[in-house]
Structure formats: C-alpha cells, structure tokens
Amino acid sequence: MGRMLVRQVAETEGCELAGGSEAPGHPALGADVAATAGLEAAGLVIGDDAAAVLAGCDVGIEFSLPGPTTEHAELAAGMDARLVVGTTGFDDDQELRFQKAASAAAIVRASNFSAGVNVLFALSKRLAATLDDDYDIEVVEMHHRHKVDAPSGTALSLGLAAAEGRGVKLAEVAARGRDGITGERRRGDIGFAALRGGDVVGEHSVVFAGDGERVELTHKAASRVIFAAGAVRAARWLVDKPPGLYSMFDVLGFDD
C-alpha cells in the first residue's frame, strides 16, 4: 500500500512527494522513497523520523498499525500538521488518544478510501433505517490471507452505518463470532463473517435477510489503486482545513 501511495502521489497533478518514513530496523530504511515504488529516484531517503517527514510536508498519509499511527497523530497535534489516516484496529486507549490528537490537528480518517465503499456506507445506513427488525443484517467480508485483523475496518464501519440507521449502538447488537451450538439468532443483531484467502483485495456485502426476500449491497475491489487515489484526494481536500477529525463523507461532500 505504501508503494502504491507513492506512485499515486507522483502521478497526481498538483502533488509532490516530500518524503517517507518507516519503523526502526525496517529494510527499506536508507532507500529512495520513489525508487521503492519503481519510479525514478527523487533524492528522498526513507528514514525513521516521522516528525521530520510531517514537518516537511503539507499533508502526511498514514497507512500502518494502530500503535505508530496513534503516536504520529499525537506528533501532528503538537506540530499543527495535517494527516490522512487509513489505519484500522485501534484499541480503546489508542482511540481515546487519537480522538484527543484530532482536536489539535486536521485529520481525515477512513476505514476505506474508495468512493464506491463510501457510497455503500451511505446506502447501508439508509436501508437499515428503512427496513425494520424483520430483516436480519449480516456483514460479510473477504480479504487476502495476509490481513491481520478481523472483521475488517470497513466491515465494522458498515455495521456501524447499519446500527446508526436503526438507531442502536453497534456494541450492543454486534454478533462477531458464531461457533458450535449458538442458539437462535437474536432479533436485531448485526452479524459479521470474515473470510480470508488468496490475494483478494477486498470484498464487502451487507445482507438484509427477511422472510421471502433478501437484499444485498456489495462492493468488490479489484485493485488497491482505488484506496490510494481516495487517500490522495483526501490529502488535497485537507490541505487548507482547520483542526478536527474528518471523514471521507466530508471529502466527498456526502450528507451524514
């Protein structure tokens, strides 16, 4: 994903690469950031000082792990910097720290930067508000074998959108694992199923299953380019925004 973001920035008119950072000990340290993405060397060496990268750019783009992302958000807050974040899987403490940082830094965070997936979020919320509890909601996702978190951040966001449409709290209705004799499905639950295998970029479906009919909303990603393009679009939108935590709905001009 990092290499794809580098290529997307380099190929987008009006954008310019400013640098890149990696974790201490990473094999890419010392390499030219553009060359790692198969582009002509840009004279920008990958280092392990995220603060230096943030200080030297208009907007940083962060796709990594919850721990370093939280730390980098706090760095951004202390520097009045701007950050686009695609990281998912924050625990409660990291989420609190991240939210606090976003009060002092301009941050766009999204579990998925695809325009199509964000349309899926909006449709899921609207349909959940339209169909009552006679329709059971299940979120099904599939990703490549290397993905480390489940359900995906996008799947959880879809569940959250459906819960908001129903006017309930996702934490109170989520069914995230079924195994063995589980008993009858509880009315009003929002279920999750996570599939892993092969090189699947990302597939998400929200199923509304009623008696005698089923409505399915589905998005299938064939390339990670859509995520990189969305992240760069978010960065361009964010460049003149005041501190605060924004979403792709803000970037795309969608109503909540």
d(CA 116, CA 252): 11
Sign of CA dihedral 194, 91, 187, 166: negative
Cis peptide preceding 151, ω within 30 of 0: yes
Q: Are 112 and 157 in contact (CB under 8 A)?
A: yes
Q: Which residues are catalytic?
A: 143, 147
Question: What single DSSP character describes residue 79?
Answer: H
Q: Which residues of 76-102 are buried (b: 16+ CB within 10 A; e: fewer)?
A: bbeeebbbbbbbbbbeeebeebbeebb
Residues in the chain, overall count: 256
